[in-house]
Structure 1
Amino acid sequence: MHKILASVWAVCAFFALGTGAEQAVAAPAGGDRQVAVAAIPAKAYATLKKIDAGTWPQSGAPGTRGGTVWQNREGRLPAEDDQGRRIVYREWDVNDKIQGRNRDAERIITGSDHSAWYTGDHYRTFERMR
């Protein structure tokens, strides 16, 4: 019984602490980036795959937006790539817009440097997808 409980606690601790594979980036007023472990929903990766294939947003989801330039005004994502070139970002809804409701907070931001970022809280924090 003690071995089972110890195993359960170990699994819970693993998921509570995470694997460290994903990072959330937030820019407080001071401008320093903070890094924290966070999970990216599988739905976001499925949407990113559609973005890469050029099939998002779907025509059957009126009001769903994707591909418009995102300014990064708060500087929460890197402004330049490794070669010092300015990164141009585009924003994409993760989920289909539901008719009669506002768009939800989930977005994917893709960069001209091939980066992709997930935000589940409408641009307050970001988690790197690639």
Structure 2
Amino acid sequence: MKKQLLITGLVLTTSMSVYAQQAVPAGTMAPSAAAGTATHADTVQAVKTMFHKHRTGGWIWTSIGSAFAVRIATAAAASSSNSIDSPTTGSTVTGIALFGGVPAGIGIGKLVRFSTTREAEILSAFEQGKTLPKYVSSRLKRKYFGK
């Protein structure tokens, strides 16, 4: 069985076509993005876009974590009232912490790190000529610089 699986995998990987990355035509990008340099206004807009997207992600993670925590708690409460082999309190707390707390913690961390207050502070410092913090500059991707 292992031999058949390995041979099938080898045949599939060697029979697929491989394509190189294509160069983007010069007229499809913004002039500043095509040249590889961004203007001050482009960078400010990219920072605003990035912060907005990360805040949205924070709300999504927090919502998912909260939904899992509520669902686990209600399922545990419902099953503990009418079952002999009901889940223990420890397993319920562990489930809530693991499946609810971790995503909620990630979301809250994103909401704090990419808050509107922090965004305003960073943009104000950038307007005064200071550089962007490392956690901002390392996350700025080409997609945030517009069309």
Query: Could you say which structure has the higher helix fraction?
Result: 2
Do they superpose with TM above 0.5? no
Query: Could you say which structure has the higher strand fraction?
Result: 1
TM-score by length of 2: 0.23
TM-score by length of 1: 0.25
Choose 1 or 2 for highest CA Rg.
Answer: 2
Query: Which gives a bigger RCO, structure 1 or 2 (Cα 8 Å, sep 6+)?
Result: 2
